[in-house]
Amino acid sequence: MQSQATRTPAQRRTLSILVLLASSIASPLHAPAWPAERSETATLSGQELLKIGEIHDVQQHWQETLTYYRLALSTFRAQQQPQGIATSLVKIAAVNERQGKIRDAYDLLREAVPLYGRTKDRAGQARALLALGRMSARLGYGEEARSSLLQAQDLYRRIKQPAGRNETLINLGLLDIGEGSMERGLVLLQQAQQDARSRKDIDQQLATWLALGDAHALGDRPQEAVAAYDAGLALAEAEHRVALEAKLQFRLAAAAAADDRLEDGIRSGKRALLLSQTLHDVEAEAAAWSLLHDFYRRADRPEAEEAEQRALTLYRNRSFSVHGGR
Q: Residue 317: which CATH number?
A: 1.25.40.10
Q: Tell me how far apart the alpha carbons of residues 207 and 36 are, in angstroms, rounded to a whole number.
A: 38
Among candidate residues 133, 160, 187, the one where a domain is terminated: 160
In a domain, 242, yes or no: yes
Which sign, positive or negative, has the C-alpha torsion 39, 45, 46, 52? Answer: negative
d(CA 272, CA 249): 5
Alpha-carbon span 201 to 278, nearest angstrom:
24
According to the model, what pLDDT value does residue 319 have? Answer: 61
Q: Are residues 301 and 231 in the same domain?
A: yes
Q: Is 9 among the domain residues? A: no
- Specify whether 143 is located in the same domain as 227: no
How many domains does the chain contain in total? Answer: 2
**pLDDT the model gives residue 137:** 96
pLDDT for 316 = 87
Instruction: Give me the pLDDT at residue 282, please.
Output: 87
Distant-in-sequence, close-in-space partners of 101: CB < 8 Å, separation ≥ 6: 322
- pLDDT score recorded for residue 17: 39
Q: Please choose, from the candidates 125, 222, 127, 119, the residue with its C-alpha nearest in 3D space to the C-alpha of residue 171.
A: 127
Whether 283 is in a domain gets the answer: yes
Domain presence at residue 178:
no
131 and 238: one domain? no
d(CA 17, CA 10): 11
Question: Domain for residue 25, yes or no?
Answer: no
Residues 6+ apart with CB under 8 A from 304: 293, 296, 297
95 within a domain of the structure (yes/no): yes
The DSSP secondary structure of 38-69, one letter per residue, reads HHHHHTS-HHHHHHHHHHHHHTT-HHHHHHHH
Q: Is residue 62 part of a domain?
A: yes
Boundary residue ending a domain (116, 131, 160): 160
Q: pTM value? A: 0.79
Q: Is 177 inside any structural domain?
A: no
Which amino acid is present at 6?
T
Residue 87, helix vs strand vs coil: helix
* Shared domain check, 147 and 52: yes
Q: Do 85 and 154 fall within a single domain? A: yes
Which residues, given as ranges, of the chain have pLDDT below 70?
1-42, 318-326
Whether residues 155 and 50 fall in one domain: yes
Among 160, 186, 202, the domain-final residue is 160
Same domain assignment for residues 249 and 146: no
Q: Which range of residues forms the domain containing residue 224?
A: 219-326
